[in-house]
Structure 1
Amino acid sequence: MDKEKEFEEAVTKVLELLGEDPKREGLIKTPNRVAKALKFLTEGYHQDPEEILNQALFSTSNDEMVLVRDIEFYSMCEHHMLPIIGRCHVAYIPDGKVVGLSKIPRIVNVYARRLQIQEQMTEQIADAILGTIKPKGVAVVVHARHMCMEMRGVQKINSTTVSSALRGPSNF
Structure 2
Amino acid sequence: MSLEKLTDCYRGILTELDEEPGREGLVGTPLRAAKAMQFMCRGYGQSLDEIVNNALFDSDNDEMVIVKDIELYSLCEHHMLPFIGKAHVAYIPTGKVIGLSKVARIVDMFARRLQIQENLTRQIAEALQQVTQAEGVAVVIEAKHMCMMMRGVEKQNSTMFSSVMLGAFRESGNTRQEFLQLISRG
Pair in the same fold by TM > 0.5:
yes
Q: Which consecutive aligned stretches of 4+ in structure 1 deviate over 3 angstroms post-superposition? A: none
| Match in the other structure for 2:107 | 108
Identify the structure with the greater helix proportion. Answer: 2
- Distance of aligned partners of 1:88 and 1:32 in 2 relative to their CA distance in 1, 3 Å threshold: same
Deviation at 1:96, TM superposition (A): 0.3
Count of matched residue pairs: 171
Q: Secondary structure at the match of 1:102?
A: helix
CA distance in structure 2 between the aligned counterparts of 1:55 and 1:25, rounded to whole angstroms: 49
**Given the two structures, how large is their TM-score scaled by the length of structure 2?**
0.89
CA distance in 1, matches of 2:29, 2:133: 45
Q: Is the 8 A contact 1:74 1:113 kept in 2?
A: yes
> 2:128 maps to what in 1?
129
5+ residue gaps, structure 2: 176-186
Per the TM alignment, residue 54 of structure 1 is displaced from its structure 2 partner at its CA by: 4.5
AA in 1 matched with 2:37? L
Distance 1:9 1:123 in 2: 34
Paired position in structure 1 for 2:88:
89
Tell me the equivalent position of 1:65.
64
Aligned-pair Cα RMSD in Å: 1.1
Q: What whole-Å deviation, never above 9, does each CA across 1:29-70 have from its counterpart, x for those lacking one?
A: 001001100001001011112332242100000011000000
Partner of 1:19: 18
Say which SS state the counterpart of residue 91 (structure 2) adopts. strand
Identity of aligned residues (%): 55
Amino acid at match of 2:69: D
Query: What amino acid sits opposite 2:101 in the alignment?
Result: S
Structure 1 distance, partners of 2:136, 2:2, is 42
What CA deviation, in whole Å up to 9, does each residue of 1:117-154 have, x standing for no partner? 00000000000000111001000000000000000001
AA partner of residue 102 (structure 2): K
| Separation in structure 2 between the aligned mates of residue 54 and residue 9 of structure 1, nearest angstrom | 36
Alignment of 1:122-161 (within 5 A): 122-161=121-160
Match of 2:47 in 1: 48
**Partner amino acid for 2:61?**
N
SS at match of 1:119: helix
**1:162 aligned partner:** 161
Q: Which runs of 5+ in 1 are unaligned?
A: none
DSSP 3-state at the match of 2:22:
coil
* Alignment partners' CA distance in 1, 2:155 and 2:161: 15
- The whole-number CA distance in structure 2 between the counterparts of 1:51 and 1:63 is 26
Q: What is the DSSP-based 3-state SS (H/G/I as helix, E as strand, rest coil) of the residue aligned with 2:100?
A: coil
- With normalisation by structure 1, the TM-score equals 0.96
Identify the residue that residue 4 of structure 1 maps to in structure 2. Answer: 3
Equivalent residue letter for 1:121: L
Give the drift of 1:168: 0.4
